[in-house]
Amino acid sequence: MTLYFEPSRERAQELADLLGSDARGATSLAELTQFVVIDRHVQLVVLGPGVSLHEALAFTKQQRLIRPGLGVVLLRDQLDVAALAEAIRVGVREVVDASDGDGIVAACLRSLDVTRQYGPVQSQMPTAAPVSEPVVTSGKLVTVFAGKGGAGKSTIATNLAVALSANGTRRVCLVDLDLSFGDVAIMLQLVPERSMVDAILMAGRLDETGLRSLLTSYSPQVDTLLAPAGPADGERVNRELVTEVLGLTRKYYDYVVIDTPPFFSDPVLAALDMSDYYVLIATPDVPSLKNLRLTLDMFDLLEYSKSSRVIVLNRADARVGLTSADIERVVRAPIQGHVPSTRDVPVSINRGIPIMVEDPNHPVSRSIREIAEVGLDLGPTPAPQVSSHPAGGKRRGGFSLRLGR
């Protein structure tokens, strides 16, 4: 069942018409809360734009403890970064423009799909967490993020994973958290026989054996956790599962590199909350730089450490009419990495061999290795070497490679 509340009668009627006859309206926030407590079949609550942000966040925060599977969709007349950050922090599933009818319906359907993954909806009061042995977190989590698609994020992530393995002296896991349209498998020519979705049945009891069953080996020291083969499967992965998987993964790897979609979602925020470093990618064009600036504003609101951010300008030498002064004025933050533009990168992508492996001394390879050494405090590392031995993972193409030891 879907519930909704909007103080304005006129707008409440508009919301009722949009949500359909199966939705039930409340006349007050108190009545809405009572409906949720009494009816365990409620799966979704839509809060109209007339509900104050303070009340909406307080309601969501309370229900997250009592009914973790309940979805809350918040409608706003004006969308701003501050409201979005606060809403996501307390557990609101989606924040939607109140004037976008199609967007509201789509957000509700997505939320209902997520709720179904929790199984039967039941009310429960919070109980004490079971006592367990503390998890030793030794590995470093590195999340690679770009606020705009096409910035080369996956290219940077795959090559960075190779660089961080330091010629096979460190264990690295590359996680593709772009659960709908992940590119890690195709870029490394791996067949995604297993993915993050396969962890759902092990949620809450994932151990080392279960984790190993999810991984696809790329080289002796680099493993991958691939995105699902179908876009719809990724919607079944929730924040809690990502937290569990990454928390366990970092116990067995020196570095965990996380590739992400170009937007904030619950799984992405779970990764960001746990990360030791944030590699933020942009290209030298105004839309990409604008989105980078908005990303930095969001990071400030979420209180992610400034010292842990590594800003990388990809295709940095492209002649697009922007000077260094222009870029600094838009971003208002130092650029720590500059990756040059070259046709050799798309060629390496099409061949399924990271340029870091194919040509360790290429300017792009050197720039990414510098990001690992300086930005991520890895220290000086040898360049990777190519050999003809099989890498261990099943590949789409006919070639095989491994990192030299």
Q: Which residues contact 232 (CB under 8 A, 6 or more apart)?
A: none
In this predicted model, what pLDDT tens digit does every residue of 137-164 receive, in sequence order?
479 999 999 998 989 999 999 999 999 9
**Separation of alpha carbons 367 and 371, rounded Å:** 6
Q: What is the mean pLDDT of residues 126-136?
A: 36
* pLDDT value at residue 118: 56
Q: Where are the domains of the chain?
A: 2-116, 140-403
What SS3 state is found at 186?
A: helix
Q: How confident is the model at residue 404 (pLDDT cuts 50, 70, 90)?
A: very low
Q: How confident is the model at residue 135 (pLDDT cuts 50, 70, 90)?
A: very low
Q: What is the mean pLDDT of residues 72-99?
A: 84
Q: Which two tokens stand for residue 100?
A: 């976008």
2-116 shares its CATH topology with 140-403: yes
Residue 91 CA, chain-centre distance (Å), reads: 15
Mean pLDDT of the chain, nearest integer = 83
pLDDT at residue 389 tops 90: no
Which residue has tokens 């590699």?
279
Q: Which two tokens stand for residue 199?
A: 């962890």
If one counts every other C-beta atom within 10 angstroms of the C-beta of residue 330, the result is 17
Q: Which residues contact 214 (CB under 8 A, 6 or more apart)?
A: 194, 195, 196, 198, 199, 225, 245
Which of 23-32, 86-95, 242-251, 301-310 comes out lowest in average pLDDT? 86-95
If one counts every other C-beta atom within 10 angstroms of the C-beta of residue 110, the result is 15
Per the CB < 8 A criterion, the answer to whether 75 and 96 are in contact is: yes
| Beta-strand relationship, 386-387 and 402-403 | antiparallel
Per the CB < 8 A criterion, the answer to whether 365 and 160 are in contact is: no
Is the domain 140-403 a CATH 3.20.20.70 member? no
Any idea which fold 2-116 has? Rossmann fold (3.40.50)
In this predicted model, what pLDDT tens digit does every residue of 333-387 receive, in sequence order?
888 889 999 999 999 988 888 999 989 999 999 999 999 988 887 766 655 554 4
In this predicted model, what pLDDT tens digit does every residue of 162-199 receive, in sequence order?
999 987 789 999 999 999 889 999 999 888 788 999 99
Which residue has tokens 């490679």?
401
Nearest to 239 by CA among 206, 194, 286, 273: 273
Question: Residue 323 phi/psi, 5° resolution?
Answer: -90, 170
